[in-house]
Structure formats: structure tokens, C-alpha cells
Amino acid sequence: MVVQDTVTIHSRRRMPGRLHTYFSEMYPLPRSLLVGYVLAAELFLLTVLVNGRTVGHVGWAEFTLGLTLFAFLLNLRIADDFKDYETDLDLFPARPLPSGRTRKSDLIATLVVVDTAVVAMNLVFVRNYLFFGILVAYGILMSVWFFQRYRIQHNLVLALVTHNPVQLIMNLYVISYACQAYAIPLVSWNNLLILVTLYFPGLIWEIARKLRAPEDETAYVTYSRLFGLRKPVVFILVAMFVDVVTTILLIRQVFWWAAFPVAAVYVWLVSECVRFLRQPRRRKLITSVVAYDLIAEGLVTAFLVAAVFGRGLS
């Protein structure tokens, strides 16, 4: 009765209050904006600097890159909530949408406003029509399960294989803009390294958020339920070792000594993974993975920004 009364009270709140509830719990705005802009800045600066160019004026086009990644990830978050609504009613009834504390109409209205602004800014400022179009098209296909819902929805590995490559397309959207703006050939070894390197953080996030201690497993399908805890954690460590190697290959072209703090953060992640395997109920690996991603990518971005100001804006 108390829960029912609480839901009724929340449902009577105005739309800003209901959206505040959703974003606080499902897509924290400060952190999400930070992720979008750090990722965009790192991709953009790596592409320009590693290919021997000097960063020129930073304006609305570059601002739009980070906003686009933020908005695209927001679209994916809301699309997932819509796609899994019936499942969440059973498994996650306390979440904002299935609990009624946020309405579908609130989220639809939010997407209309955000997406209209992002599309307009891309058309006016970025003008990277082909790769922006590919990004939008892939996002739409993801939202409808690539027209294979009956196969993908209940197959976690197939969902990973079909949905996770969106990170590569997000990366390509930013890389291709930098190449377009600075007359850099798109197809090159350096650009391939950048494309792949910035794919791994999203991959390990997806794996880590679906790992649970055996005692905490439910009907919700997780990687730990399918493969146990050890194999997914080892996969995360191997993926991030490759990520560290490729990051070092890139960042050493700007600051050779920057490899050391990046490697140190990886050593910290290894220790966190070991602790998680020893005490899976007392620790959440996803918390450590999010911290690792933000610290590692933030460090690289900070080094790149320092290099820009060291060389001077053209």
C-alpha cells in the first residue's frame, strides 16, 4: 500500500520532476555529458595530433560532436527502456519507467527536443552527412532489434555482437569529421588504431554491468550466469590490455612519458578485478570499470589538450 501511494505521488508530479527522477537513476546528466565530451575530445584530438596536424579554431562544430555522442547514448538508454519495458515490469519494477514514476510520454518529448537540436546542429555546423547518417541509421536498427527481436532479445551474446559495434560507428563519426576538417586521409594505420582503441572501454562496460555474484542471480540473463565470473573478468582484462597497448602506441607519438600513468591505471583495474573475484557480493565491478574508463580516458584527453596548448592553436 505504501509503495502504491508513493508511485501515485510521483505520477502526479510535473514533467520536470518526473524527468529528474529518470535522469538521476538511469542516465545521470553530469556524468553522461562528461562521457560524451571526453570521448569526442579524445577521438578528435588523437586524430588531429597523431596525424601531424595542429588544432585550429574550436567552435560550434566541435561542440556539436560531444553533444551528439551524449544525445546518441541517451537515445540508446531510452530505447532500451522501451524495448525491455515488459521484462522490467517483472524483474526491475522499481525503475522509473515500469514503476510509473516517469512516463513514456516524458521520454518521447525529451527525445524530440534533443534529437531535433542535434540533427539541426549537425546539418548546420558539422556537415559530416554520410557518417552522421550511418550513425543515425544504426541507432534506428538497434532500436528495432535489427528486425530480429525473437532471435536477439533472449540471446545475450548475439545482442552483444549486433549492438556493441555501435561504439565503432560513434568513433568513426568523430574521426571522419576530424579528417574532413583537417584534410587527413581517413584510411590509415593511425586512424584504425584510434577507431579500435576507443572501442574497448564501451565493450568492457557492457560486460561488467552484467556480472553478478552467484547468490544475486535472478531470471535476468547475465554473462556471469552464462559463463561464470572468472571467464568474463579475464575477458575484460585481456580486452583492456589490448586497449592499453594500442593507447600507448598512439599517445607516445604526442607525449612518450604519458604511457606510464595509463599503464598504472590498468594495474589498478587488475587489482579491482582480483578483489571482485574474491568478494563478488561485496563489490560491483561495474563501478571500478566506470572509474577506470573515466580516469584513463580523462588522462589521455588531458595530455592531448596539454599538447594542443603546448604547440599553440593555429
**pLDDT reading at 31 higher than 50:** yes
Q: Are residues 172 and 235 in the same domain?
A: no
Return the pLDDT at 11: 52
Q: Are residues 234 and 140 in the same domain?
A: no
Q: Are residues 122 and 239 in the same domain?
A: no
Q: Are residues 218 and 308 in the same domain?
A: yes
The Cα 298–Cα 26 span in angstroms is 22
Return the pLDDT at 259: 83
Neighbour count for residue 244 (Cβ, 10 Å): 20
Q: Are residues 251 and 176 in the same domain?
A: no
In a domain, residue 4? The reply is no
Q: Are residues 159 and 220 in the same domain?
A: no
Looking at the 3D structure of the chain, how many domains does it have?
2
Between the two ends of the chain, the Cα-to-Cα distance in Å is 65
Residue 124's identity, in one-letter code, is V
In a domain, residue 132? The reply is yes
* Cβ-count burial 209-219 (b if 16+ within 10 Å, e if not): bbbbeeeeeee
In a domain, residue 247? The reply is yes
pLDDT average, residue stretch 175-203: 96
Contact 307, 48 (CB under 8 A): no
The Cα 153–Cα 220 span in angstroms is 12
116 lies in which domain range? 27-187
In a domain, residue 194? The reply is no
In a domain, residue 17? The reply is no
Q: Are residues 181 and 244 in the same domain?
A: no
Return the pLDDT at 223: 95
pLDDT average, residue stretch 227-255: 92
pLDDT per residue as tens digits for the range 119-149: 999 999 999 999 999 999 999 999 998 888 8
CATH code, domain carrying 181: 1.10.357
In a domain, residue 20? The reply is no
In a domain, residue 193? The reply is no
pLDDT per residue as tens digits for the range 245-291: 999 899 888 877 888 898 999 999 999 999 999 999 887 899 999 99
